[in-house]
Structure 1
């Protein structure tokens, strides 16, 4: 196991007497050299968690340890943490080099060393030769690189990034995701990255902590999080998922039979559900569903009859909306050009591999 750099122990944050907790009972370890992403919807507690680590918010309870030291008494500028904001927060009257040098200047680093470290930091983010420009003369992506260089130049133990790519267009955002990932891999610096974008989290992270209602619902590497979600919230929030209501008809160990509310009875993995008679949600990823243009009489073993409602061509794949049973609906995806599609309104057969469907408790979401 890698050495723990940051530890949250029972951390809680409330605003005002008797108000709901923005963060409730947070326990989380971040390993040295790890890129940890905090993922969740707006108001889930992820940015509050980052701000408490940075020192801009104080925990109402619990401890935050940095390298084994409780940092609660330290103001932000004494914690030695690099921070990158969505707004970049560059000084418009300073040159790029002066912006990057600012953390070194306030730390009293000698001028010659400042210049050398600034030059290295700008080369690191592919902005060598841009030192004399002002922020207004740079593109959004270049400004983001300057903000990242400024956060890294004083070699902090950890860099915090709060929705840093939110202001960029889709193409540039995807390019910068890879830039940050590759930079992390080259430098081995510890990073904590806040986002509400599931694809961004899956692209960047070594591990992802999914927040909802001020609590962590699951912490896992991207593949585990996507393929083995811990509960219905994670299954529905991370990537696309079909979530069909039903009831557990039978259970044998980690295998269950689910009677869907729309009629069909199917097998599933007991991911987070109870026994017979309990309400559940059946989760199945759209890309795991195979769709064939066959009639009910031609159904193979394990296949279900369906009707194609809509097919949308999206370049590399086709999205299929299918009616199943009495009022049920499923979304499926398949590569474009792969076999014959059913006609809209026509019969189809659907099936998925064993182990691809999961049953979760059907519990109300917290507000």
Structure 2
């Protein structure tokens, strides 16, 4: 078990007397050397959590421990934490080297050591030849690299990144995701990363904490989070999912039979799921739904009859909109160029492998 570097204990944050809690009952450990991503929709509490660790917000209740020391009421500049903002926050009148060296200058590091560490930090982010340029002479991705080098040059125990790639275009954002991941893997620096981009979180993270309503709904590694979400919110928020309402027909240990409201009875793994007769949602990833000819000979006994409503070509894959014969729609994805499809309106069969469907309690539905 890796050593715990940061610990949130019973942390709560409210704004104003009697106001709603932006963060509530937060207990979270960050291991030394891991990259933990806080993922969630706007207003879910993820940025507030980061800002409390950085020192720009003070918790209403609870403790925040850094290397065993409570820093909840310590000034930001006394925490020794590196922070990278979406806006870069570079000094326009300084050169790249001067920007990176700034945290060392304010800490009184001598000139020779400062120059050496600045040079190594720029090499780390592949900006060796840019030391004498001004921020205005750099692209957005290069400016973000400078901000990252500046946050890491003084070797902080943890680096916080608050949606640092939000201002970049798609191609550059994906390039920088890999850049950050490789830097983390190479140096083993601890990072907390905030984003609302699910693909970004899956690409970067050792673990992902999914926030909603000021609480963590699930904290797990990307594979577990994607394949075994803890509840319907996580299933619907992380990646694309078909969420089909139904009623639990029977339960056998960790497996349930569910009669979908659109007709078919299907088998699913029981996650946060009630007992017989209770409302539930069955989650099935689009890429797990296979399609075949209407005779279903390729899909076996799990096949369900359906109708192809629409097929949209998206380059590397085709997105299919399908309807069960008794009503209700699902989405499927299949690699482009694999097999032939009927014309829209034509019959088709669909199936998914055992264990691909997961059932959750549907708190929004009354039976």
TM-score, L = length of structure 2: 0.98
Deviation at 1:297, TM superposition (A): 9.9
Bigger mean CA deviation after superposition, 296-305 or 286-295: 296-305
Q: Aligned residue for 1:52?
A: 52
* Equivalent residues in 2 for 1:1-367, closer than 5 Å: 1-295=1-295, 300-364=300-364
**What is the aligned-residue RMSD (CA, Å)?**
1.3
Alpha-carbon separation, structure 2, partners of 1:171 and 1:213: 31
Alpha-carbon separation, structure 2, partners of 1:350 and 1:72: 54
Contact 1:295 1:347 in 2 (8 A): no
Deviation at 1:326, TM superposition (A): 3.3
Deviation at 1:300, TM superposition (A): 4.0
Could you give the per-residue CA deviations for residues 190-224 of structure 1, whole angstroms, max 9, x where no partner exists?
Answer: 00000000000000000000000000000100000
Q: 1:111 to 1:344 in 2, by over 3 A?
A: same
Could you give the per-residue CA deviations for residues 271-319 of structure 1, whole angstroms, max 9, x where no partner exists?
Answer: 1101111000010000000101214899841110100000001111100
Alpha-carbon separation, structure 2, partners of 1:70 and 1:330: 49
Aligned to 1:129, the other structure's residue is in SS state: helix
Alpha-carbon separation, structure 1, partners of 2:20 and 2:71: 25
Alpha-carbon separation, structure 1, partners of 2:296 and 2:88: 58
Q: 1:299 to 1:147 in 2, by over 3 A?
A: closer
Alpha-carbon separation, structure 2, partners of 1:330 and 1:125: 44
Alpha-carbon separation, structure 1, partners of 2:89 and 2:276: 56
Deviation at 1:9, TM superposition (A): 0.3
Contact 1:296 1:347 in 2 (8 A): no
Q: 1:298 to 1:226 in 2, by over 3 A?
A: closer
Deviation at 1:338, TM superposition (A): 1.2
Could you give the per-residue CA deviations for residues 6-47 of structure 1, whole angstroms, max 9, x where no partner exists?
Answer: 000000000011111100000000000000000000000000
Q: 1:296 to 1:186 in 2, by over 3 A?
A: closer
Alpha-carbon separation, structure 1, partners of 2:226 and 2:298: 33
Aligned to 1:186, the other structure's residue is in SS state: helix
Alpha-carbon separation, structure 2, partners of 1:297 and 1:176: 45
Alpha-carbon separation, structure 2, partners of 1:273 and 1:4: 32
Q: 1:115 to 1:311 in 2, by over 3 A?
A: same
Q: Which runs of 4+ in 1 moved over 3 A?
A: 295-300
Residue correspondences, number: 365
Contact 2:292 2:298 in 1 (8 A): no
Q: 1:282 to 1:147 in 2, by over 3 A?
A: same
Alpha-carbon separation, structure 1, partners of 2:38 and 2:341: 39
TM-score, L = length of structure 1: 0.98
Deviation at 1:132, TM superposition (A): 0.7
Q: 1:325 to 1:360 in 2, by over 3 A?
A: farther
